[in-house]
Chain A
Amino acid sequence: MRDQRLWTWHVLAGLVILVFLGLHMTIMHLDTIFGFFNPGDAKPIDWVSVVGRARMGFFTVSYIVLLGAALFHGLYGLRNILFELGPGRGVKSALNVALTVGGVGLFAFGAWAAWAAGALARTL
C-alpha cells in the first residue's frame, strides 16, 4: 500500500517541480534571455536581486513548495536506486528512517531559511 502511495506522490511532485524549478532555472540561469525578476543589470545571485525576490510572498511560498516537492522526489528517487541494489531488510529499514529524518530535517531548515529571509528582506 505504501509503495503505491509513494510512487503516485513521486509523480505528482515531479509535476510540481517541473513548474517551479522551471521558473527558478529561468530566473537564475536564463536571465540574459528572459531577464525576469532581476532589477537593472544585477545578476540573479546579487544581494539586491535576492532581497527583491525574498520580499515577495509569492517567492517565499514557491520556494517552500519547491523545497518540499524536490526533497520528496529526490530522496524517494535515491531510495529507489539504493533499494534496487538488493540490500537486506535491516538496511532497508535503516535507510527508510535516515531518508525520512534527513528529508524532514532539511525541509524544516530550508523552510525556516525561506521565511527568515522574507522577514529580513521586509525590514531592509
Chain B
Amino acid sequence: MTAPATVTFRIRRYDPATQQPPVWEDITIPYTHGMTVLDGLRVIKETRSATLAWRSSCRMGVCGSCGMFINGHPRLACNTQITELGTQLVTVAPLPNFAIIRDLVPDLRPLFDKHAALMPYIIRDDVQEMFEPTGEYFQTPHELEQFLQFSYCIKCGCCGAACPTVATDPEYSGPMALAQSHRYNADSRDGGFAARKQVLATEKGPWKCHYAGECSQACPKGVDPARAIQLMKRQLVFDYLKLYRQPCPSKVVAKPTEITRRADVPEAPAPTV
C-alpha cells in the first residue's frame, strides 16, 4: 500500500465513571513514515484526546503490554505498521474475551491467575541445589529444542483473544497458561509432571482445546501454543494409558576441579563487580 497522507483511527472508548457502554470514536491524524498503531495512539493522546488510555511499554514487541484488537485481529500495537493493514481506517478495540477496565485496557488478571494455577516453574526435589547451586543442570541442545519455542511467550494475551473456547467459557485455562505449563513439562530439568498432572487431568487441562489453531496464528512471537497443547494432550493420554514414564530430571554437572590452562590462552581479566 502506498503511504497515505492521513489515517483514521476508529477507537473503542469506554469510561467506567460514566456508566455508559463502550462507543466508537473516529479520529483522523496525519500519517508519518513508518507509523505503527502505537505511534498513532500516542499522536492522538498528545494532540487530540488526552484521556485515551492503553498499555504499552517497550514499543518493540518484547514486553507483551500492547495487545489490542486491530482491524478484527489480535495484534501487538507496536508491531503493527499502518501500511501493513492495507487500509486508511484502523479499527482499534481492546482485546476481546477480557473485561474492559477502560478504553483499550483489558483486565488480564484472569489470564495471569490461570497461568499461576498451572505451576509454570521448575519443580524439583533438590530444593537446596536450586537455591544454592553447586553446578549446572545438564541439558543437550536436543532437549532444549523440546521447549525453547514455548519459552518465547511474552504473555500478551493475543492467543486467548483469538481462541473460540475462551470466547464462550470463562473457566477454560486458555492457550497461554497451557502452553506455559507444557513448556515446563517438556523441560528436561523439571521433575514436576506428577504435580502438574493433578491439575491438568481435571477440567483445567487442555481438554477443551479442539485445535482451531487460531492461537498459533495470532501469536506475535511464533510460540505456537496449539502445538504445545496437542503435545501436552499426547503426554497426558499416554500417561493415562500407562505408555508414558516421566524421565528423571537432569542431573547437576559439577564444575571440573582439575583444570590446567593451555599455554597460549591468556588469563581472564579480574572481575569488576
Contact = CB atoms under 8 A, between A and B. Distances in A.
Answer whether A and B touch in the complex at a CB cut-off of 8 Å.
Answer: yes
A85 interface: yes
A80 interface: yes
A3 B236 CA distance: 11
A86 B168 CA distance: 6
B138 interface: no
B245 to A, nearest CB: 16
A1 B202 contact: yes
Q: Size range of the interface on A?
A: 10 to 19
Interface string B186-204: 0000000000000011110
Given A1-B202, A2-B202, A7 B169 contact: no
Given A1-B202, A3-B203, A84 B240 contact: no
Contacts of A2: 201-202
Contact of B207 (A4, A85, A86): A4
Contact of A86 (B171, B203, B241): B171
Interface string A23-59: 0000000000000000000000000000000000000
B156 to A, nearest CB: 24
Nearest to B169: A84
Given A1-B202, A2-B202, A7 B168 contact: no
Contact of A11 (B170, B205, B237): B237
A80 B172 CA distance: 12
Q: Size range of the interface on B?
A: 10 to 19
A84 B237 contact: no
A77 to B, nearest CB: 10
A83 B233 CA distance: 19
Nearest to B198: A1
Nearest to A5: B240
A16 to B, nearest CB: 15
Given A3-B205, A3-B207, A8 B237 contact: yes
A83 B165 CA distance: 10
Contacts of B172: 84
Contacts of B241: 8
Nearest to B202: A3
A1 B194 CA distance: 12
A8 B114 CA distance: 24
A1 B178 CA distance: 16
A90 to B, nearest CB: 14
7 contacts: A1-B202, A2-B201, A4-B205, A11-B237, A84-B165, A84-B208, A86-B170
The 4 closest A-B pairs by CB, nearest first: A4-B201, A84-B169, A3-B207, A1-B201
Given A5-B240, A86-B171, 20 more contacts: A1-B201, A2-B202, A3-B201, A3-B205, A4-B201, A4-B236, A4-B239, A4-B240, A6-B207, A7-B233, A7-B237, A11-B237, A83-B169, A83-B203, A83-B208, A84-B168, A84-B172, A86-B168, A86-B169, A86-B170
